[in-house]
């Protein structure tokens, strides 16, 4: 798919990967860019940059964990531009939670990282099927193929997102609907950097496992992946190797992951606290000074 003269919706567009995609897509002169994020976020600078690049834009506030708001976003885009060619379901949340993460964190991860993609497809697919063409892009994560050691609600919800995209591609791929997923490992965005600053386990392991990319690099890979209509878009090419090794020999891969955690933190995971603890998202015990980053063969982790 070429982006020129397309109508494109992006969720989670106020910062990080979403904002980088908006700015990069704008350079390809789409017919319209509909940029959305949750209430309280600053879409204006991204809208201003897209308009400066000559794009017609629409800014829509929507919490993607609420189906009615995703429906309203799709309606606003259709009302303004008459169609949507590409819907980028990009918003996501990390929790930093382990086994004892509060249920509200599990629910939020599930709603934003998994169900929001379902809501997007329900909202926009009927109009795409009617026209016999359209494209759904989901920002998933390498955590949806592998494991984000420091965030189990994130890992589970991203695996669900990958599975949903596969199902969409199988079910609608022969009816003119394109589907792609982006599965980056570490990307320098507020999500990852906040985790670093909080000393969380996940970002430390991600840094040990591979390169941290800039969001602009991810956006460029996305444009290439969309142009090739590739289902699996991997900004970090090494993720393909980790994923293959996991499939070839899961036991060896799990061994490699355990070794990566040990060499990065010197820790074993903290025992879960009692499930009812209504505390802030659990972070693991403070890690000791990390050893020199090593990536055991066959491992890989992600945000
Ligand atoms: N940064 C990484 O290392 C990394 C790696 C792999 C995948 N990802 C994924 O990339 C996507 C973008 O994340 P990012 O890294 O740019 O982080 P980010 O925190 O900068 O961006 C996430 C965006 O999603 C928005 N958002 C969160 N909850 C929302 C909700 N309920 N409704 C609407 N918008 C909501 C946020 O306001 C924010 O603008 C996410 O899906 C994330 O899981 C990030």
**Lookup result for tokens 């099927």:** 129
Count CA atoms within 13 Å of residue 202 on its CB side: 29
Phi, psi of 217 (to 5 degrees): -65, -40
Quick one: which of 178, 162, 80, 79 has its CA closest to 125? 178
pLDDT of residue 302: 55
- 285 has pLDDT over 70: no
Measured in angstroms, how far is the CA atom of residue 12 from the centroid of ligand 1? 6
pLDDT of residue 277: 37
Section 112-119 average pLDDT: 99
pLDDT of residue 283: 33
User: Which residues make beta-bridge pairs with 137?
Assistant: 88, 180
Quick one: which of 122, 110, 13, 115 has its CA closest to 75? 122
pLDDT of residue 269: 54
Section 287-303 average pLDDT: 39
Q: Which residues are catalytic?
A: 154
pTM assigned to the model: 0.90
Lowest mean pLDDT among 132-141, 143-152, 244-253, 260-269: 260-269
Measured in angstroms, how far is the CA atom of residue 113 from the centroid of ligand 1? 9
Confidence label for 268 from pLDDT (cuts 50, 70 and 90): low
Count CA atoms within 13 Å of residue 118 on its CB side: 15
Chain center to CA of 93: 8
Section 169-173 average pLDDT: 98
90 lines ligand 1 (CB under 6 A): yes
Tokens of 17: 């990967």
Q: Tell me what the pLDDT averaged over the chain comes to.
A: 89
Measured in angstroms, how far is the CA atom of residue 112 from the centroid of ligand 1? 9
Yes or no: say if 64 and 89 are a contact pair by the CB < 8 Å rule.
yes
190 lines ligand 1 (CB under 6 A): yes
Angle value at C-alpha 171, between 165 and 175, nearest 5 degrees: 110
Section 145-156 average pLDDT: 96
The alpha carbon dihedral of 25, 26, 30, 31 has a sign of positive
Mutate to test the pocket of ligand 1, among 18, 61, 72, 92 (most ligand atoms within 8 A of CB): 92
Tokens of 258: 């355990």
């Amino acid at each position: 798919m070429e982006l020129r003269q397309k109508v494109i919706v992006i969720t989670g567009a106020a910062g990080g990967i979403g904002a980088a995609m908006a700015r990069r897509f704008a350079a390809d002169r789409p017919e319209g860019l509909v940029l959305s994020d949750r209430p309280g976020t600053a879409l204006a600078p991204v809208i201003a940059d897209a308009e400066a690049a000559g794009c017609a834009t629409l800014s829509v506030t929507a919490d993607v964990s609420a189906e009615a708001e995703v429906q309203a976003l799709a309606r606003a885009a259709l009302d303004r531009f008459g169609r949507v060619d590409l819907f980028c379901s990009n918003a996501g949340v990390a929790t930093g939670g382990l086994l004892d993460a509060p249920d509200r964190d599990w629910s939020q991860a599930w709603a934003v990282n998994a169900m929001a993609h379902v809501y997007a497809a329900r909202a926009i697919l009927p109009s795409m099927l009617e026209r016999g063409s359209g494209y759904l892009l989901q920002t998933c994560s390498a955590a949806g193929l592998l494991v984000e050691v420091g965030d189990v609600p994130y890992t589970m919800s991203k695996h669900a997102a990958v599975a949903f995209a596969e199902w969409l591609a199988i079910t609608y791929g022969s009816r003119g609907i394109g589907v792609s997923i982006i599965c980056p490992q570490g990307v320098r965005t507020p999500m990852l950097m906040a985790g670093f600053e909080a000393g969380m386990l996940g970002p430390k392991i991600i840094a040990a496992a591979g390169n941290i990319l800039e969001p602009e690099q991810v956006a460029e890979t996305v444009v290439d992946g969309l142009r090739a209509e590739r289902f699996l878009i991997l900004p970090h090419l090494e993720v393909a190797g980790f994923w293959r090794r996991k499939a070839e020999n899961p036991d060896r891969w799990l061994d490699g992951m355990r070794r990566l955690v040990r060499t990065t933190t010197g820790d074993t995971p903290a025992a879960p606290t009692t499930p009812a603890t209504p505390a802030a998202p659990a972070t693991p015990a403070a890690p000791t000074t990390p050893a020199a980053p090593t990536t055991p063969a066959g491992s890989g982790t992600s945000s």
